[in-house]
């Protein structure tokens, strides 16, 4: 009897695997930083699974950090600052990716015709660039990009359909001697990204992906200095109302993504408002990372 029961469980699990997948979270991060006359990045990290990646270059104080957590991703990038003889440049890039595979709880009276679903996320961050010259012209640049992706099954379809939406901010400071020898630029990302009214099969899994990218760079020589910083302050993740169904009775709950009854509960509490100054941005970002590591 035990063997028959075990065989039945194995068969049921294999059959279930052909139809659906268990809820799960997959997170990856990569970062690079360097410059200062080098032919390539001083430190570079490929994709790493789990909590994140860090890269830095002490010569130009460039740094890049990427981390992931329950239902959110974070990038922090600084192009540093510097000036001196010879050509100097600081550059940093970071990217954090997360895919959350979810199961939907459907009401008992579900008729099998599909249900409308809206997925919402929130992207929040700051970019800042400064450039100063006494001769020639140089540029500093900082940017952030957030991409929300949803993969799902339409009713009666055997393969997944994927759709996405994105937002991007950029700060570019171009200083030109005699015209604009001192230039600065600043911008804020504060966007609600949503993918609306997807007709889905609620008996199959859905996959929600976050891809948060950031970069910063500056150029400088003996007559120029620059700095650039991009902070994913409150980062990019689910919005508090993460899922909205077109019919009552449907819900999503998954502890590993901090989702309870369609609501995302930010495990870090209320995020702080990012500050515009690059040094303060970077300091605040490192503090947030340290706090996350202590909690983990």
Question: How many domains is the chain partitioned into structurally?
Answer: 1
Does residue 7 form part of some domain? no
Which residue range forms the structural domain that includes residue 143?
22-295
Q: Which residues contact 25 (CB under 8 A, 6 or more apart)?
A: 70, 98, 99, 100, 101, 256, 257
Q: How far apart are CA 187 and CA 106, in angstroms?
A: 42
Question: pLDDT band at 162, cuts 50/70/90?
Answer: very high
Higher pLDDT, 246 or 89: 246
Question: pLDDT band at 277, cuts 50/70/90?
Answer: very low
Residue 296 has pLDDT above 60, yes or no: no
Q: Which residues contact 67 (CB under 8 A, 6 or more apart)?
A: 29, 51, 52, 73, 74, 96, 289, 292
pLDDT given at position 34 = 72
Does residue 3 form part of some domain? no
Question: pLDDT band at 86, cuts 50/70/90?
Answer: low
Does residue 1 form part of some domain? no
Does residue 133 form part of some domain? yes
Does residue 9 form part of some domain? no
Question: pLDDT band at 188, cuts 50/70/90?
Answer: very high
Higher pLDDT, 282 or 138: 138
pLDDT given at position 8 = 30
Residue 286 has pLDDT above 80, yes or no: no
Instruction: Quick: pLDDT tens for 12-52.
Output: 223 233 334 568 999 888 888 776 654 444 456 667 777 77
pLDDT given at position 270 = 57
Does residue 74 form part of some domain? yes
Does residue 236 form part of some domain? yes
pLDDT given at position 44 = 60
Q: How many CB atoms lie within 10 A of CB 192?
A: 12
What's the pTM value of the predicted model, to 2 decimals? 0.80
Does residue 37 form part of some domain? yes
């Amino acid at each position: 009897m035990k063997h028959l029961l075990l065989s039945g469980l194995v068969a049921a699990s294999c059959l279930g695997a052909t139809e659906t997948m268990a809820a799960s979270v997959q997170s990856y991060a990569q970062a690079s930083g360097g410059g200062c006359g080098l032919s390539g990045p001083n430190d570079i990290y490929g994709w790493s699974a789990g909590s994140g990646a860090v890269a830095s270059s002490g010569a130009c104080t460039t740094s890049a950090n990427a981390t992931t957590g329950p239902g959110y991703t974070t990038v922090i990038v600084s192009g540093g600052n510097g000036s001196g003889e010879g050509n100097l440049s600081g550059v940093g890039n970071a990217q954090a990716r997360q895919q959350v595979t979810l199961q939907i709880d459907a009401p008992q009276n579900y008729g099998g015709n599909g249900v409308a679903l809206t997925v919402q996320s929130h992207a929040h961050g700051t970019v800042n660039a400064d450039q100063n010259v006494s001769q020639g012209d140089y540029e500093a640049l900082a940017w952030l990009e957030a991409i929300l992706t949803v993969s799902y099954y339409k009713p009666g379809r055997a393969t997944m359909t994927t759709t996405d939406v994105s937002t991007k901010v950029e700060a570019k400071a171009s200083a030109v001697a005699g015209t604009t020898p001192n230039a600065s630029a600043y911008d804020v990302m504060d966007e609600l990204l949503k993918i609306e009214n997807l007709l889905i099969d609620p008996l199959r899994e859905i996959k929600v992906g976050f891809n948060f990218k950031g970069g910063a760079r500056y150029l400088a020589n003996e007559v120029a200095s620059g700095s650039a910083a991009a902070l994913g302050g409150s980062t990019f993740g689910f919005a508090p109302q993460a899922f909205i169904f077109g019919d009552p009775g449907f819900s999503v709950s998954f502890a590993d993504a901090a989702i309870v009854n369609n609501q995302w509960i930010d495990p870090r509490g209320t995020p702080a408002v990012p500050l515009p100054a690059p040094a303060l941005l970077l300091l605040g970002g490192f503090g947030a990372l340290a706090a996350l590591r202590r909690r983990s």
